[in-house]
Amino acid sequence: MSAGDPINVYDDLAPVYGDATEAARRRYETIKAAFEERFGAAPEAFARSPGRVNLIGEHIDYEGYGVLPMALAVDTVVAVRKAGNQLVVCNVDADKYPEKAFSVDPAQEVDVGKHNWGNYFVAAYKGVFEHLAAKGAAAPAPAGLQIMIHGTVPTGGGLSSSAAIVCASALAVMRMHGIELTKGEVSEFTAKAERYVGVTSGGMDQAISIMGMPGIAKLVEFNPVRASDVVLPEGAVFVVANSLAISNKAESATKHYNLRVVECRLAAGVLAALLGESKESARQVLTLKEVEPLIEAKYSGPKASTSGAQTAAVEELLHEGAYETAEIEELLGAKLTDLYEGNASALRVLAANGRFELRKRALHVYAEKQRVPDFRDVCNSGAGVEEKLAKLGKLMDESHASCRDLYECSSVELDALVQVNKAAGAIGSRLTGAGWGGCTVSLAREGEVEGFIEKVKGGYFKGLIEAGRIREEDLPECIFASKPASGGAVLTLKL
């Protein structure tokens, strides 16, 4: 399978849900019934796209580096029918996600000031039409749509519930307008589209949601987006556990996610300037990856292109502690607000923050990007299973320490959960996704996984049950082992 393949279309649930097809059928029947109750007719098609867990490579996709996620079985389903002259977006869980209606105009603005769940659908809708315009393809007339959504990806949990809804919505919009695009195209435009919701995210979540495959993790690379298979060692199981500290990327973007994206770009520009680029060229440098050749030119020798040389350069050139706006403006020869002219998300970051950590962020990125090919190489190596597991576990532990200490995207709850995971026997454990809350991913041996999960339940979740935060019956959603699952698809079902 490659980025050039068309989106999968199935007339059966089994290719997507495998062993869980019967439960999936009941769920789809419920979605169909909710659709009929609201709209008085059956949906014409369903589109679905999954959440993901990232195994390694955190906060480096927007710096141009490859990451290594896998698709999860939890997903978002969009039932859709062409009708009326509006986009009527409903959710099976109407109490939590009340009905919203939008115009069919693809040029409408997404109101980021008023965050609401329907914005994700509108972002996807705009994305489809903008992609057609960008490639100079004729677009069909925008049609009114009736939509009923149901999601099982926990929200604010770091498992890409937002990519799942954006990708599934895009597939539904395409289907209803007769638009056929490749998996690569959909991965790219949905990543851009999600930025309408106000998060300047990279492209990992959408790429794996669209290109995921059962049984296989993917090394996802960018520019252009592509995914290659990574076969995980026999007997390796990844366990996802939710810290239950909710972190909504869109709502906290200015202080968390988008701030980190700005810090990385400023670190790249400042490094370029200190490596001898003119201020004008340094201002054009957007990612830490673009700084690599400049480092290589200065730090000659056999290891010049490695993470080691990049770390040495950062340690030598960027000072400890935060940079103030004025200091960066002096180094780059321009006002930061001019540098980000027209970029509303970044301007909100500048308005809310006057100090930027550059050294720690760059140190994280240059070390973390190396752990991704290292992880893949361990999986592909001829080493014995135990040796492979130990090496993968070590890479995961290092990744967590770097996210916690250098990128500062962990949280008290995540650190506590990682400790419980390790004490329960995880070979490696780390936060996954954007962080500041959400989930951890731990590596365990297949034969030990049940015992591991029981210990984590006792060590982390029992207290939360006693405190009334969750119920015993919620536990299967809070901690579960997952194999790589299917990517996005359109389903034409006879239910």
Catalytic residue among 61, 75, 205, 397: 205
Q: HSE (CB half, 13 Å, CA atoms) of 309?
A: 17
Closest contact distance (angstroms) between CB of 159 and ligand GLA is: 9
Q: Does residue 11 carry a catalytic annotation?
A: no
Cβ atoms within 10 A of the Cβ of 155, count? 17
Closest contact distance (angstroms) between CB of 55 and ligand GLA is: 11
State how far the Cα of 50 lies from the Cα of 168, in Å rounded to an integer.
Answer: 8
- Residues within the interface to ligand GLA (CB under 6 A): 54, 58-59, 61-62, 160, 201-202, 204-205, 433-434
State how far the Cα of 420 lies from the Cα of 401, in Å rounded to an integer.
Answer: 15
State how far the Cα of 295 lies from the Cα of 297, in Å rounded to an integer.
Answer: 5
E-strand stretches of 302-385: 323-324, 355-356
Closest contact distance (angstroms) between CB of 261 and ligand GLA is: 8
Residue with smaller CB distance to ligand GLA, 232 or 434: 434
Residue with smaller CB distance to ligand GLA, 225 or 479: 225
Residue with smaller CB distance to ligand GLA, 34 or 170: 170
User: Exposed e or buried b for every residue in 227-263, given b needs 16+ CB within 10 A?
Assistant: beebebbeebbbbbbbbbbbbbbbebbbebbbbbbbb
Residue 280 one-letter amino acid: E
Closest contact distance (angstroms) between CB of 422 and ligand GLA is: 21
Angle at 138 between CA 102 and CA 180, to 5 degrees: 80
Closest contact distance (angstroms) between CB of 105 and ligand GLA is: 27
User: Is 76:149 a contact under the CB 8 Å cutoff?
Assistant: yes
Residue with smaller CB distance to ligand GLA, 50 or 202: 202
User: Locate tokens 């369903």: which residue?
Assistant: 46
Residue with smaller CB distance to ligand GLA, 68 or 73: 68
Closest contact distance (angstroms) between CB of 433 and ligand GLA is: 5
Residue with smaller CB distance to ligand GLA, 160 or 411: 160
Q: How many residues does the chain have?
A: 495
Closest contact distance (angstroms) between CB of 59 and ligand GLA is: 5
User: CA quadruple 428, 430, 433, 438: dihedral positive or negative?
Assistant: positive
User: Is 74:87 a contact under the CB 8 Å cutoff?
Assistant: no
The DSSP letter of residue 92 is S
Q: 481: closest CA among 438, 434, 448?
A: 448
Residue with smaller CB distance to ligand GLA, 188 or 464: 188
Q: Which residues are part of the catalytic machinery?
A: 205
